[in-house]
Chains A and B, each alone.
Chain A
């Protein structure tokens, strides 16, 4: 199968009066790693839950792995690995017992040898009889990933798998994700980290329940039409609070000693920074906006829309 693995249209989820996911369309091709970004509470978890049959959408339709997300939940569940945002394995079972339980629920054959192999790959073979609750955050996440690929799923939905994990463990985690994608597994992974977003083949950005941007990192940056400047020199970083609320500026932030400013309209942006450009000690240069610039910009836009509605 090389068609779309996820293909959903117009997904809507409401809680009471609030529309938490608002007409989200998403198509992901086989073998791709898609980063799912968005501020807290923007509806990432809710969207993932609708895709794996844990929540019933209030509107919209679509397929995962060719199965209808509403009518064929069980078929999707059998071929999908879903890693919950909160650690979902049993802390009062040992590492091995957890993996064996998962293997049995999926009715896998050769439970012992599969679990042995998974433990070996993880490097947890010597600790297999420890209680899972005793593992550190990074290990827990790797164990959770091992548990959700035990049944050899074709699709992985990972919900903030690296939140609160140190950089080394994060890197190891992402190496594993790419190894899995190399085997043809499709991955949709939510994250807040920009460096992780850049490791994805493509990105979907959601804010206030609306899908705001879609494509590769370059496509999103080029398509945004955002302009950016970087200022360097003594005290450049201290200008951020002065520029942040200026007309025409979406974001102004200090990066080390430098200042990074961006805005959607070139003329307005130039006008905003003009007073500071007069300072001969500062060097101003055009620069390519970063993904973060764009996300902050999109978030503001989505908020304005949400408030206008």
Chain B
């Protein structure tokens, strides 16, 4: 009986404390719901509606039917018509489209002559998971369309054994190796994890231990405290990047075709954004536990919605919108572009601009929330 009473007293106390700790309480309910929503709705391993460029050099009833059929598969969307190969390449390298479908000028003529016509598909292989379903669908769409089209007035031409030969070309990652995609993502996630959490903890630790009051009583400026706290972690971030890159090269032979200088600059920018986010968390969190919880809350979508764990284009619009708001999403695109595609500064400038904008926004927030007084 005594045991049960004491146990009950203990349970009651824990429940009271838990109820007072709002953040833990919110996390307990928030995290499972967030996970359910993200895994259940946001993640789609068979992404559809992928942006595609169509380079159609032959414009006949047949090819138009073919393009329409490809669109109807649901895998390709906003099929963008381009007129030159260079234009199409540019779109693919920038990451604006996932596929280029090229219909050569002699397509219809070859079909009519009972020859096998070709359709070329170039896929952005940096994210292999995105490509699979779409490729299977296009082959099917092509043969069905031609079977139908050639059975009407054109039936007299007969149907060749294999009317269309679909030539697939995976760009940037010809063998579709998954880890080529994983490495840039891992870089982003590792940096997010350590940078955000470390700074959040470093500042709350001062407050929790009571050393903050002492620090503030001395003539240090907010910017000195912020920069002083952040600087050592920039270095740590740099070392982490180097370790991941070297390991990726040695263990997985992941190529690096782009500019190292650009990569360094972009990484520095991303690290700084992450640190500023951590610093902002620390101005909100009351103690280290809360800082930790906030960091995890931030890390979850950074892993799931950034295009790291699952194809970005496979997510519904709302999830993509959240993803766009996360720095790691943009960093991931930059690193994939640089490592695998050899993108130029101009091609990644859009993503860089987004990161820079985030840095300004978050730093302003951090500094405005940081107090030189204890008020």
Interface residues of A (CB under 8 A from B): 49, 52-56, 73-74, 77-78, 80, 82, 84, 86-91, 102, 105-106
Q: B219 touching A106 by the CB < 8 A rule?
A: yes
Q: A106 touching B218 by the CB < 8 A rule?
A: yes
Q: B214 touching A77 by the CB < 8 A rule?
A: no
Q: A89 touching B214 by the CB < 8 A rule?
A: yes
Instruction: Among A55, A84, A102, A106, point to the contact of B373 (Cβ < 8 A).
Output: A55
Assuming the contacts A86-B210, A88-B214, asked whether A105 and B219 have C-beta atoms less than 8 A apart, the reply is: yes
Can you add 13 more A-B contacts, CB < 8 Å, to A54-B216, A56-B373, A78-B219? A54-B373, A55-B374, A56-B375, A73-B372, A74-B219, A86-B210, A87-B210, A88-B210, A88-B211, A90-B209, A105-B215, A105-B218, A106-B218
Chain B neighbourhood of A102, CB < 8 A: 218
Instruction: Judge if B220 is at the interface, Cβ distance under 8 Å.
Output: yes
Instruction: Judge if B21 is at the interface, Cβ distance under 8 Å.
Output: no
Q: A52 touching B375 by the CB < 8 A rule?
A: no
Q: B220 touching A105 by the CB < 8 A rule?
A: yes
Chain A neighbourhood of B217, CB < 8 A: 52-54, 77, 80, 82, 84, 88
Distance to closest chain A CB from B185 (angstroms): 35
Instruction: Judge if B213 is at the interface, Cβ distance under 8 Å.
Output: yes
Q: B211 touching A90 by the CB < 8 A rule?
A: yes
Chain B interface size band reads 10 to 19
Chain A neighbourhood of B220, CB < 8 A: 105
Q: List 6 A-B contacts (CB under 8 A).
A: A49-B374, A55-B374, A78-B219, A88-B215, A89-B214, A105-B219
Determine the residue in chain A with the shortest Cβ distance to B219.
Answer: A77
Interface set, chain B 327-375, CB cutoff 8 A to A: 372-375
Q: B218 touching A77 by the CB < 8 A rule?
A: yes
A4 and B217 alpha carbons, distance in the complex (Å):
21
A102 and B211 alpha carbons, distance in the complex (Å):
12
Contact mask B183-215 → A, CB, 8 Å, 1/0?
000000000000000000000000001110111
Chain A neighbourhood of B374, CB < 8 A: 49, 54-55
Chain B neighbourhood of A49, CB < 8 A: 374
Determine the residue in chain B with the shortest Cβ distance to A49.
Answer: B374
Determine the residue in chain B with the shortest Cβ distance to A46.
Answer: B374
A53 and B371 alpha carbons, distance in the complex (Å):
12
Chain B neighbourhood of A105, CB < 8 A: 215, 218-220
Chain B neighbourhood of A52, CB < 8 A: 217
Determine the residue in chain A with the shortest Cβ distance to B213.
Answer: A84
The 10 closest A-B pairs by CB, nearest first: A88-B214, A86-B210, A82-B217, A77-B219, A105-B218, A84-B213, A78-B219, A54-B374, A84-B214, A88-B211
Assuming the contacts A49-B374, A55-B373, A55-B374, asked whether A88 and B219 have C-beta atoms less than 8 A apart, the reply is: no
A89 and B209 alpha carbons, distance in the complex (Å):
9
Interface set, chain B 245-276, CB cutoff 8 A to A: none
Distance to closest chain B CB from A25 (angstroms): 22
A89 and B213 alpha carbons, distance in the complex (Å):
10
Chain B neighbourhood of A106, CB < 8 A: 218-219
Q: A54 touching B219 by the CB < 8 A rule?
A: no
Determine the residue in chain B with the shortest Cβ distance to A52.
Answer: B217
A106 and B220 alpha carbons, distance in the complex (Å):
8
Chain B neighbourhood of A91, CB < 8 A: 209
A307 and B374 alpha carbons, distance in the complex (Å):
29
Determine the residue in chain A with the shortest Cβ distance to B206.
Answer: A90
A52 and B215 alpha carbons, distance in the complex (Å):
12
Chain A neighbourhood of B211, CB < 8 A: 88-90
Determine the residue in chain A with the shortest Cβ distance to B216.
Answer: A54
Q: B213 touching A86 by the CB < 8 A rule?
A: yes
A105 and B216 alpha carbons, distance in the complex (Å):
11
Chain A neighbourhood of B215, CB < 8 A: 88, 105
A78 and B373 alpha carbons, distance in the complex (Å):
15
Chain B neighbourhood of A89, CB < 8 A: 211, 214
Chain A neighbourhood of B210, CB < 8 A: 84, 86-88
Determine the residue in chain A with the shortest Cβ distance to B374.
Answer: A54
Determine the residue in chain A with the shortest Cβ distance to B217.
Answer: A82
Distance to closest chain A CB from B221 (angstroms): 9
Distance to closest chain B CB from A95 (angstroms): 15
Q: B375 touching A88 by the CB < 8 A rule?
A: no
Instruction: Among B213, B372, B373, point to the contact of A88 (Cβ < 8 A).
Output: B213
Chain B neighbourhood of A55, CB < 8 A: 373-375
A114 and B218 alpha carbons, distance in the complex (Å):
18
Interface set, chain B 49-87, CB cutoff 8 A to A: none
A54 and B373 alpha carbons, distance in the complex (Å):
4
Q: B373 touching A53 by the CB < 8 A rule?
A: yes
Chain A neighbourhood of B209, CB < 8 A: 90-91
Chain B neighbourhood of A84, CB < 8 A: 210, 213-214, 217
A90 and B213 alpha carbons, distance in the complex (Å):
12
A226 and B188 alpha carbons, distance in the complex (Å):
73
A52 and B373 alpha carbons, distance in the complex (Å):
10
Distance to closest chain A CB from B214 (angstroms): 3
Determine the residue in chain B with the shortest Cβ distance to A159.
Answer: B213
Chain A neighbourhood of B213, CB < 8 A: 54, 84, 86, 88
Distance to closest chain B CB from A13 (angstroms): 9
